[in-house]
Structure 1
Amino acid sequence: MSTHPLLSRTLVPALIVATTLVPRLASAAELVQLNPVDHVAIIGNNLADRMQHHGWLETYLQAEFPQHRLSIRNLGFSGDEVKTRPRSANFGSTDQWLTKVKADVVFCFFGYNEALRGEPGLAGFRKDLGDMLSGMKGQKYNGKSAPRVVVFSPIAHENLESPNLPDGSHNNRYLAMYTKAMKEVCAAGKTPFVDLFVPSQKLYRENATPLTLNGIHLLDHGNRLLAGVIMQQVFGNAKSSLRESAEIGKLRTAVLDKSYYWFSRYRVVDGYNVFGGRSRLAWFGQSNADVMQREMQIFDVMTGNRDEKIWAVAAGRKHKVIDNNIPGLLVVKTNKPGSLAGGRHRYLGGRKAIERMRVAKGMEVNLFASEEKFPELINPVQMAVDTDGRLFASVWPSYPHWNPTRPRTDRILCLPDDDRDGVADRCVVFADKLNSVTGFEFWGGGMLVAAAPEIWFLKDTDGDDKADVKIRMLQGISSADTHHSANALVVGPDGWLYWSRGIFNIANMETPTRTYRSGQSGVHRFNPRTFEVEFHFPIGPNPHGDAFDRWGFQFANDGTGGTGSYVNIGKGRGNKKWFPKRVRPVAATGFLSSSHFPENTNGNFLICNTIGFQGVLQHEVSFNGADITAKEIEPILVSSDPNFRPTDIEIGGDGALYVSDWCNVLIGHMQHNMR
């Protein structure tokens, strides 16, 4: 009978405590020995990044060494190379992060992005890898000694036999070449090396179901199998990856919970306010950085608390996470107090707010849904209508980013109007615990959701109006500034997903054929069938609003300046301003297309404005040969409520025009502390 703590709970706690003091003897087959309190860091490209979200490698590591107290931190980043690792301002270098996590052991996953350069890039890659390894060996991230480094090759490109994806033969030629080069460089530098290219090819052959999402990025079960390969190659006689048990499942749950907090800290959204240029803004002697860095400290402590849970489960003990040791949040004094107790502001209810609205001749407004009736409906950002005519809305209560001491309640909501009377009857949470949802669009029987730094595919497969399929489709859209992050999502007539994105953000994305990097503001696009990404059209510095008219012509808007541009056919590079700008900023745009409205208004261009003019502007569109222009006419809607902040417009399944209202006293992100 096995006495391994994960297979048997018969061991007494005293024995478990005693065994934590005895390091496991290294096997002759082990490439690296893990000491009882080692800090293990994982760096590299998307292969490394996705590992933390599936949790298998850390689960097997912790199960293999139940007597240890291993602190494992994933620093993976989509698009990373041994030499090129673009980051937003003041994010910190890899060396700085390895020092922060006090790395004793570093697992390095590189080679995919470099191999895309083919044979011409091989000599430079050899040199860069050698320089990286010698540089790391000269560091003392833990403050005492050089790190023990293990280098892993890229995996092979899987042939999914899809007409939309390459078969991988071209990539595999160079991936094999770069794997061989990595082995030789590591041998020369006496650095442990693990070949994942050949074993991954074997895994592809032996499994009937695909292991990757797009040929290059592993799905959950693919990462489970690869983690088993890594354990066997690094630790020789590893047994943890060979077991399937409830205890392994419990351990993985604890690992994923820890990774949830660590990822939220390491890849914190709105980094420009945490450590970037806007972090230095201060009021009453207190800066954004003061407040936000305290929250980062809280994340660090909460992550460490979950390490304790992992160690307990690995050793067969029960443990409840209690976050009673976190530092307190800083109290933020508002520079715009309200008249109510504690400086709170008075907000109008939905019906009272409508009384403050004036609409165009022949139109009327009714309240469809409000926070009063549905408390989940806080800070709506974007709306969309499904094929059944139901209105969905993304909400962002955690704005500008999640406070770790509170529940994460950024969501996608479904608001069915069951009796078709123009009033929502229910509020169904389609997807919960998302991260700063800045937009979504229906596609492929589900929806594509922008939740920095990723784009997700969410789908309901059992008819309960709740997403049960959740797949990271694209990583690396940047999380530097949520105000400028991917927004105004729209699927174009060509089937590509378009989004607008502003400055301060740096995209690092891996596709089956290229590494896409861009710091340019403008319209970007993603093909969810081929997984390719392109820069489409320059506009900025902070584009918000992207719409196609009935003819398929595309129009993009800059949110900050309020200017609009006609996107020339063929991805034009010059901005064609097509209407005179009157006010700024712009939160969203769209075209009026509904038989409920007068025929002469159909095709009119609409703009949501949130400061200066608070309402929905209307522009009459004219086609003059090859030229398209628009002139402002009577607004669709204008409000005298100073807190009215329209964020999106959408034609509903009933033909009505829906307007979402953020409803907030504070709207500027440079005029007030972010909390």
Structure 2
Amino acid sequence: MRTYFIIITLFLAHSSKADEFNEYGLYSNKSASPQETAPVKTTLPLKIAKESKIAYIGNTLLDRAQHFGHFESFLQRRLPDHKLVIRNFSWSADEVDIQPRPDNFATTDQHLLYHKTDIIFAAFGFNESFSGKEKIPEFKSRLSKFINHTKTRAYNGKKGPKIILISPTPNQNLKHIPAADLNNERLLLFTQAMREVANAEEIGFVDVFSAPYPERSTINGVHLNDEGYRAFGSALFKGIFNESPEPVNEELRLAVVEKNKQFFRRYRPLNTFYYTGGRKGRYGYLDFLPAMKNFEIMASNRDNAIWSIAKGEELKIKIDDSNVPDLPETTQSRGGNKWMSADDELKSFTIDPRFKVNCFASEEDFPDIACPIQIRWDSKGRLWVACSTTYPHVYPGQEPNDKIVILEDTNGDGKADKSSVWADDLHIPLSFEFGNGGVYVSEEPDFTFLKDTDGDGKADFRSRVLTGFGCEDSHHALHDFVWTPDGKLLFRDSIFLNSQIETPYGPIRVKNSGWFLFEPRTQKLQTFGSYPNTNPWGVTFDKWGHHVASHPIFASTFHATNPPYPTQHPRPSGMQAYSGTCGQEFVDWDSFPEEMQGGFVKVRYKPTNRVEFHRWIKSGDHMQEKYESDIIFSKNLSFIPVDIRFGPKGALYICDWYNPIKGHAQYSLRDERRDKVSGRIWRITAKEKKLTAPIKIDNAPISQLLDNLKRKEYRIRYWTKQEIRKHPSTKVEQKLDQWLNNLNDKAPNFRHHQLEALWVYANIGIHKEDLVTELINCNVPEARAAAARQIRYWPKNMIDAAEKLIAKCSKDNDEIVKLEAAITCSWLGTQKSFNTLLELGGNDMGKHLNYAVTTALGSESIKQYWSEQDQAVKGILAQAKKRNQLNAGKTTRNASEANFDKQKGLKKINIKCIPERMLYDVTEFTVKANQPVKLVLSNPDLTMHNLVISKPGTLEIVGKAGNEMAKDVNGLKKNYIPKMSEVLWSTPQLKQNTSHTLRFNAPKEPGDYPYLCTFPGHWVIMKGVMRVK
């Protein structure tokens, strides 16, 4: 990567008063909106007054432009004395009237007013075009309405803005991505429609669709690369001024990019749910508003540098940030956990006597692995570690310097002895995975690809493959990168987030969590399984390709395509799903005890900190976990296991985000106690077992790699398929045909070997109808289910065969096969697949199959075939609703309780836990002294909660005591309720869709009696007060 050095004067210390910052908070429910005014006609060539405020709005075309800076550089170079202030408010996949934003985030109107905008450049039309050419009249109406509104708003406080509408750019055909063939005819029609509307509304219009572009000007057929943006900037400039731009000093362009970067952090900061949204009340003021002020100052300082270079006064970028004040100190609401050295931490572990644990690597020997998040083994047997000291937020004066570090054990003693930094300028890499000769990495809001092109062991190529993923909570953002068995990259985001991503095949939008599938070969992004969830980290697949996660455990049930945006599928009931875990790894290595084979190991970081072993058991229409024991239990809550992987010899490795501060909502994002130094990798081996000899994968011939697929170890097969993807598809297909034909049909794992072949074919883009048909007709139900799953990806020219096979699977005698059939119906999205769902839904079903049918019916692809009046569908949905009913506040259980409820003056209180929010729906109620109270707590949330009423002034005492119970291996059995005189009344920890009733007489002493959830960590925000009068 090219490195440019920017001279920045360090901040000087300033004192700040808290009331200085209110004006920097921009909220949709509070910030001012522009007044209506008479419109201003926009003519071209454009005349720009000195000190004009210019804004970019629109889709990814302008959003990505901020990283290249060509057009803005041309503009500043042409008008060096004008002191133009240019700010970018565009957003990936925006349309003229579809602009999802974080909760309570200020509208585009409000931002344009705050910026005092004089001129607007607006790029639209690309995403709208996917509605089809038959929707052009509707698009023109939508565009006219948008322009009429925008041109009649006095953003600068005086008059309406000048508006220049920008067309889409032309798409290009690339190998496996026929973007031009798919889109250009339609884009041309939408460009013509935009011209007509612009002329009618008397605003400027620039056709950049018809402009010349280099032969390879896009990264994916749609989104421009550097040369593409240079051509785009030149075409836009010429369309505005009727002249070509002058050459630009590279330092000017870099100064523009630097300014854009700092302003982006002001306009679109991470963690907006804590800035504008539902959790802004606790820390949002000091965590964000002083930073917003400083980012504005820094952007202005960079404006000065841009103007200086544009006028020729400076040849190098010189930025003076000495006027940027220090951020005020944050509040610290609670204590942190104890910090220990790696040796002392190891001593604090309670370890299963069958195992031994050693520290493979720590910050003491390898300081670059501070704050490790994810670990991955490569085919050479090296451990790659993604580390983030930037997490949880980027603040003024701070540049992300997160790393991917390679650790090696060169002498085989079980401890790392060599490290190297492969990438060191990353932005909170929550996840990464190898692919396409490089690494895909999460860098919210971007999905990035990195590569070492010169073989020096460091990444030197970077591309933002996709952008627009939600950032409302930086630890819920894009995570859990894993290759599916059939070669797609799977990942997800979580609650609070709004993601909208442009692709060559149309925009993808998801609200409040969803799964994504990415195919590098075609650059196709698909989404599915959007439903209300919490912190769902940790993903893997079992031997037969069942999708295993944490929220939910049997994630295969949740694969129906999404309902119409922005809705989600309904909240599930009675299914295993947990927050607080970060990874699973199946035990299939001979290096682990025989009695553990077939189960899996899970790492948990809350409420207790442990490494658990679970059984994996088939239960009718799903697989379920059964907790059996702990491999490691830690009383030291600074132990935060966040990832788990078997290594190439069969030792198990645990990634430990070692930190005394655990929690995103529970502490200030700027809490100085957040550890930025520590990080450990633990290695677990069985005492009575030998390690496995490593198998050849790196640079192995295709024939040997295919034989590796017969191995029982999932990770060996996983690494092998990664290596196979490096080979030309034609050679793989040839060798695979031979390998498949030579399989022994009498071998115990014959059907699984066939399935691995099916998955490898899918890896190279080949759909094998004959193999799928054979597997669907075999006597192994797991193979039948896996084969049915593959049908969802078949192209349209195979739809007839797909419908017939799925109809057959829907009548299978195995419930999981039926479940896969139901889900696949939503992917096919045809009338016949809808009919299959109706027939399937009319039968008795377990909860998982019931949920699969319900969500498939609710998917956008299937919903077009039925209405709310459809009796058959109504019957299926009514049955599903019945299964999910919440049985809260049941009738009394005995005579004593019945008599209590008959008392005169009984106060009835019903409190619900708000799903996924760690909040009660009632945070205050009032009773009279000694009044009889009947309080019903009901919990529809998948996370357990309780309610404890304590003496006045004891909220923090009881809450912290609950936290301490996380150190007790039996804490959950005790319901995390401290035995102390401060506790007056309490419910047990309630599982989802259960309730508990408290009956008591209110205290005789008036006062404010706090109530709280004592599940460790929840009490900080999950609390209320009972006022006794």
Report the TM-score, using the length of structure 1 for normalisation. 0.87
Matched, 1:274 2:280: no
Q: Distance in 2 between matches of 1:187 and 1:619?
A: 67
What's 2:245 paired with?
239
Q: 1:413 to 1:100 in 2, by over 3 A?
A: farther
Distance 1:444 1:80 in 2: 29
1:396-435 residue pairs with structure 2 within 5 A? 396-435=388-427
2:311 matches 1:315: yes
Seen in structure 2, the aligned counterparts of structure 1 residues 271 and 426 have a Cα distance that, compared at 3 Å, is: farther
- 1:366-397 Cα shifts (integer Å, max 9, x gaps): 11221222233222211111221211122221
Instruction: Give 2:227's aligned residue.
Output: 221
Change (3 A) 1:653 1:39: farther
Q: Distance in 2 between matches of 1:267 and 1:429?
A: 29
Equivalent residue number for residue 452 of structure 2:
460
C-alpha deviation, 1:224, in angstroms? 1.1
How far apart, in 1, do the equivalents of 2:155 and 2:411 lie? 63
Q: Percent identity?
A: 34
Q: 2:774 maps to which residue?
A: none
- 469, 475, 485: which one aligns with 2:467: 475
> Within 5 A, what are the aligned runs for 1:601-640?
601-623=596-618, 627-640=622-635
Q: Distance in 2 between matches of 1:55 and 1:123?
A: 34
Residue 180 of structure 1 deviates from its aligned partner by: 0.7
Distance 1:627 1:669 in 2: 33
> Once the two structures are superposed, what CA deviation does each residue of 1:68-110 show, in whole Å capped at 9, x if it has no partner?
2111111121110111111111221111111222221111110
Aligned positions of 1:522-537 closer than 5 A: 522-537=514-529
Q: 2:56 aligns with which of 21, 24, 42?
A: 42
- Report how far residue 453 of structure 1 moved: 0.7
1: distance between equivalents of 2:616 and 2:653? 21
Q: Work out whether 1:297 is the aligned partner of 2:293.
A: yes
Contact 2:553–2:625 (8 Å) recurs in 1: no
**Alpha-carbon distance change, 258 to 579 in structure 1, aligned in 2, over 3 angstroms:** same
Which residue of structure 1 lines up, in the alignment, with residue 323 of structure 2?
Answer: 325
Q: CA RMSD, aligned part only?
A: 2.4
Q: Deviations over 1:24-68 (max 9, x none)?
A: xxxx99531122211211111111111111111112212222222
Structure 2 portions without partners, runs of 5+: 1-41, 562-568, 671-1029
Q: Secondary structure at the match of 1:171?
A: helix
Q: CA deviation at 1:535?
A: 2.4
1:594 and 1:260 map into 2 onto residues whose CA distance is 47
For this pair of structures, how many residues does the alignment match? Answer: 619
Q: Which amino acid aligns with 2:304?
A: E
Query: CA–CA distance in 2 between the matches of 1:529 and 1:289?
Result: 45
2:254 maps to which residue?
253
Kept after mapping to 2: 8 A contact 1:394/1:440: yes
CA contact under 8 A between 2:43 and 2:203: conserved in structure 1? Answer: no
Asked whether the 8 Å contact 1:149–1:191 carries over to 2, the reply is: yes
What residue number does 1:448 align with? 440
Letter in 2 for 1:523: W
Tell me: CA distance 1:422–1:31, structure 2 relative to 1, closer, same or farther (3 Å). Answer: farther
> Quick one: distance in 2 between partners of 1:429 and 1:388?
16
Which residue in the other structure is 1:665 paired with? 660
2:554 is paired with a residue whose SS is: strand
Q: Deviations over 1:196-216 (max 9, x none)?
A: 1111xx42xxx34x2111111
What SS class does the counterpart of residue 557 from structure 1 fall into? coil
1:56 partner amino acid: H
Selected match of 1:547 from 540, 557, 560:
540
CA distance in 1, matches of 2:291, 2:115: 17
What is the SS of the residue equivalent to 2:249? helix
Greater relative contact order (Cα 8 A, min sep 6): structure 1 or 2?
1
2:111 is aligned to: 97
- CA contact under 8 A between 1:578 and 1:630: conserved in structure 2? no
Inter-CA distance 143–230: structure 2 relative to 1 (3 Å threshold): same
In the alignment, is residue 567 of structure 1 matched against residue 563 of structure 2? no
2:141 — aligned with what?
127
Q: Give the structure 2 partner of residue 496 of structure 1.
A: 488
Cα distance in 1 for partners of 2:76, 2:596 equals: 64
Structure label with greater radius of gyration: 2
Distance (whole Å) between structure 1 residues aligned to residue 196 and residue 338 of structure 2: 68
Letter of the structure 1 residue corresponding to residue 288 of structure 2 = M
How far the C-alpha of 1:527 sits from its partner, in A, is: 2.2
The separation in 1 between residues aligned to 2:392 and 2:169, in whole angstroms, is 37
The alpha carbon displacement at 1:452 in A equals 0.8
Residue number in structure 2 paired with 1:16 = none
The question of 1:191 aligning with 2:203 is answered yes
Tell me the TM-score normalised to structure 2 length: 0.58
1:455 and 1:60, CA in 2 relative to 1: closer, same or farther beyond 3 A? same
Find out whether 1:74 has 2:67 as its counterpart.
no
Gap change, CA 1:62 and 1:361, over 3 Å in 2: same
Q: Which moved more, 1:568-577 or 1:453-462?
A: 568-577
Give the counterpart letter for 1:664 in structure 2. Answer: N
Structure 1: stretches of 5+ with no match in the other structure:
1-27, 282-286, 339-344
Superposed counterparts of 1:50-199, under 5 Å: 50-160=64-174, 162-163=175-176, 165-199=177-211
Cα separation, 1, equivalents of 2:302 and 2:558? 52
CA contact (8 A) 1:152 1:193 kept: yes
Q: Which whole-Å CA distance do the structure 2 matches of 1:96 and 1:418 have between them?
A: 58
Where 1:615 maps in the other structure, the secondary structure is: strand
Match of 1:211 among 207, 214, 217: 217
Where 1:185 maps in the other structure, the secondary structure is helix
Q: Cα distance, 1:542 vs. partner?
A: 2.9
| More displaced stretch, 572-581 vs 470-479 | 572-581
**How many Å separate the matches in 1 of 2:376 and 2:457?**
15
Q: Secondary structure at the match of 2:141?
A: helix
* AA at the equivalent of 1:143: G
Q: Look up the equivalent residue of 2:548 and give its one-letter code.
A: F
CA distance in 1: counterparts of 2:524 and 2:252, whole angstroms = 36
Q: In the alignment, what sits opposite 1:385?
A: 377
* Contact residue 647 and residue 662 of structure 1 kept, 8 A: yes
Give the direction of change, closer, same or farther, for the CA distance of 1:261–1:105 in structure 2 (3 Å limit): same
Taking structure 1 as reference, are residues 120 and 580 closer, same or farther at Cα in structure 2, changes over 3 Å only? closer
Code of the residue aligned with 1:609 in structure 2: it is R
CA displacement, residues 126-181 of structure 1 (integer Å, 9 cap, x when unaligned): 11111111211111222222211101111112112x23x23422421211111111
Q: Does 1:519 align with 2:511?
A: yes
The separation in 1 between residues aligned to 2:308 and 2:165, in whole angstroms, is 30
> Deviation digits for residues 264-288 of structure 1, max 9, x if unmatched?
222211111122111112xxxxx32
Matched, 1:230 2:236: yes
CA distance in 1, matches of 2:105, 2:80: 34
| Partner AA of 2:262 in structure 1 | Y
Q: How far did 1:574 drift?
A: 9.2
Contact 1:267 1:453 survives alignment (8 Å):
no
Deviation at 1:593, TM superposition (A): 4.1
What one-letter code is carried by the residue in structure 2 that aligns with 1:277?
G
Deviations 1:303-334 (A, max 9, x none): 11111111111111226212111132120131
1:597 maps to a residue whose letter is F
Deviation at 1:567, TM superposition (A): 0.8
Question: What amino acid sits opposite 1:553 in the alignment?
Answer: H
CA distance in 1, matches of 2:71, 2:324: 28
Out of 44-53 and 420-429, give the one that drifted further.
420-429
Aligned to 2:345: 353
